[in-house]
Amino acid sequence: MEVFLQTLVAGILKGGLYGLIGIGMTLIMGVMGIINLAHGQLMMIAMYITYSLFQFLGIDPYVSLLISMPALFLLGMAIQKYTLNPLLEVESILPENQVLMTVGIGMVLTEIIRFAFGSDYKSVQTSYSTSTFFIGEISFSLALTVAFFIAVVFTILMFWFLLKTDMGRCIRATAQDKDAALLMGVNSKRITIITFGLGSALVAAAGSLLIPIYYLFPDIGGPFTRKAFVITILGGLGSTVGAILGGLTLGLAESFGATYIGMAFDDMIGLIIFILVLLFIPGGFKRLTKI
Amino acid sequence: MLKVDGIDVFYGDLQVLWNVSLEVRENEILVLVGANGAGKSTTIKTISSLLRPDKGRITFNGHRLDQEPAHKIIGHGIVHVPEGRRLFTQMSVEENLIMGSLHGEAKPKRLETMAYVYELFPRLKERRKQLGGTLSGGEQQMLAIGRGLMSLPKLMMFDEPSLGLSPILVQNIFGIIKKISQEGVAVLLVEQNVMQTLKMCDRAYVMENGRIVMEGPGPELLENAQVKEAFLGI
């Protein structure tokens, strides 16, 4: 029973962070209709920013959120404005070409980091990286718990922004019906740029929050792009509530897989769940929540 | 007020409008009738800048519109209530209305205008928390019109507002359009429902194969032998 609860807790905490990663990709999917296959690589960039700030300036990873998020917001906006939107201007090029472009961007980002930092593993050792506390018999990793709550705060803020502000409404409107949004005066090009910036900033937050727990190397982006993709599909493309459920599902699946089947299988369990969801609820969790 | 001057419009290589010119005057109800595929919707989509003319020009109160991006048009006081409503189906009625009032003076007057829209359509007030996609066809059309009104337009363009509605609802919607025009908003109405619209309008243009073929006061066109034969089957 204890092992079960312990696994459950670990899964939920990880799932909260996965949700944050998934929401970013989902927003981009909803508005632009493309899967951003550089998502994990953007997160990797944020992780290296946090790492550098800690290593060279001694800035705490949680404080570095204030720098990594705006930095990735700007980087994301630049990517959309200068590399993805120009593809829309060219005639007879399909949206798929934007997806291919994101693959290329992901590679470029990875190689730039490899060039600058080398391929070796890095980690950030904070005073709290390995500390734990107990509630009853269950141990909580301090860093992961803090990360989880910050992720929840960002998720709530994101929902507030999407539901209660004019800009948030414009983003949702563009995702639902781009032409109707245009007729209502929404500058859809500007919305795509802001959305890509926001998605990048959210995944940057997840990256910075993971740093005290994770090790870091240039190719870490790929696996996270894959996770984000799985979460987005689980959630039902373009559904933010679905993305949170998808994140939790993946976190729990990995956690239980690692405990009951074996550490080496945690990725496999996630992908098996992915296949099962595609087979039995092909619309993803969106079908269950309707939001 | 609105002047469309000799526009040619293409879908790719296919020309769909040929030298179309029309004018909407202050306070009038202008109707554009014609069979399916005659180019009526294309004409108002071009006015909304969703399509760009290859030739000709469009001006509104002296401002040139045909080079403006689509999202700027509503700021000039022209709102397009599109064919098939095109609501934001996953947003509530209230949010759909808010989406109509993002710009200019419409934004600070949002609550005021919303109260006016609710007065015009009490049904929408009852359902203000409901998602746009869950409304009935008639209610959806009311919401599409309400959303347009939220921008405090000087000119409203309606694309087939009677589409898919029962005859009673059609009467209802036409009544509302008349009321809106009496409040001082110019109306450009695109319809296949020729008989009824020609009765209620001030002037009308008849389109055929991407060209304007006739123009005149509604009742006059109603008596026209050619119109009778082509549209009314008499």
Q: What is the ipTM of this complex?
A: 0.92
Query: What is the average per-residue pLDDT within A264-272?
Result: 80
User: What's the mean per-residue pLDDT of chain B?
Assistant: 92
User: What's the mean per-residue pLDDT of chain A?
Assistant: 89
Min Cα distance B204 → chain A (Å) is: 24
Is residue A182 less than 8 Å (CB to CB) from chain B?
yes
* Cα separation, A58 vs A55, whole angstroms: 6
Q: In B, which residues are within 8 Å of A177 by CB distance?
A: 86-89
Q: In A, which residues are within 8 Å of B50 by CB distance?
A: 179, 182-183
Q: Is the pLDDT of residue B139 over 70?
A: yes
Q: In A, which residues are within 8 Å of B86 by CB distance?
A: 177, 179-180, 183
Looking at the DSSP assignment, which residues form a beta bridge with residue B8?
B55
**In terms of CA atoms, which chain A residue is nearest residue B82?**
A180
Percentage of the residues of chain A whose pLDDT score is greater than 70:
96
Q: Is the pLDDT of residue A178 over 80?
A: yes
Q: Is the pLDDT of residue B229 over 80?
A: no
Task: Give me the sheet containing B14-24, strands edge to edge.
Answer: B14-24, B2-11, B55-60, B63-64
Q: In A, which residues are within 8 Å of B98 by CB distance?
A: 166, 169
Query: What is the average per-residue pLDDT within A255-274?
Result: 83
pLDDT score for A78: 97
The CATH number, out of the four listed (1.10.20, 1.10.3470, 3.30.420, 2.170.130), of the domain defined by the range A2-289: 1.10.3470
* Cα separation, A106 vs A2, whole angstroms: 41
Residue pointed to by tokens 């209709």: A33
Is residue B74 less than 8 Å (CB to CB) from chain A?
yes
pLDDT tier for residue A290 given thresholds of 50, 70 and 90: very low
pLDDT tier for residue A284 given thresholds of 50, 70 and 90: confident
User: Quick count: other Cβ atoms within 10 Å of Cβ B75?
Assistant: 14
Q: Is the pLDDT of residue A134 over 90?
A: no
Q: In B, which residues are within 8 Å of A182 by CB distance?
A: 50, 70-71
Tens-place pLDDT, residues B94-111: 999 999 999 888 999 999
Q: In B, which residues are within 8 Å of A180 by CB distance?
A: 82, 86-88
Q: Is the pLDDT of residue A105 over 50?
A: yes
Is residue B40 less than 8 Å (CB to CB) from chain A?
no
In 3-state terms chain B splits into helix, strand, coil percentages (rounded to 5) of: 40, 30, 30
According to DSSP, the β-strands at A132-135 and A138-141 are antiparallel
Q: Is the pLDDT of residue A289 over 60?
A: no
Min Cα distance B91 → chain A (Å) is: 8
Min Cα distance A50 → chain B (Å) is: 38
pLDDT score for B12: 85
pLDDT tier for residue A88 given thresholds of 50, 70 and 90: confident
**In terms of CA atoms, which chain B residue is nearest residue A167?**
B102
Q: Is B204 strand, coil or helix?
A: strand
pLDDT score for A93: 60
Q: Is the pLDDT of residue A125 over 70?
A: yes
Amino acid at A60: D
Looking at the DSSP assignment, which residues form a beta bridge with residue B31?
B189, B204
Q: What is the DSSP letter of B103?
A: S
By C-alpha distance, which of A76, A40, A46 is closest to A61?
A46
Tens-place pLDDT, residues A192-236: 999 999 999 999 999 999 998 888 999 999 999 999 999 998 888
pLDDT tier for residue B232 given thresholds of 50, 70 and 90: low
Q: In A, which residues are within 8 Å of B48 by CB distance?
A: 183
Top residue of B41, B52, B71, B93 to mutate, by most chain A CBs within 10 Å, is: B71
The token pair that represents B34 in the structure block: 């014609």
Top residue of A85, A91, A165, A184 to mutate, by most chain B CBs within 10 Å, is: A184
Structural domains in chain B plus CATH codes: 2-77+153-232 (3.40.50.300), 86-151 (no CATH)
**In terms of CA atoms, which chain A residue is nearest residue B144?**
A180
Q: Could B91 and A173 be called an inter-chain contact, meaning their C-beta atoms sit closer than 8 Å?
A: yes
- How distant is the alpha carbon of residue A65 from its chain centre? 14
pLDDT score for A291: 45
Query: What is the average per-residue pLDDT within A22-36?
Result: 90
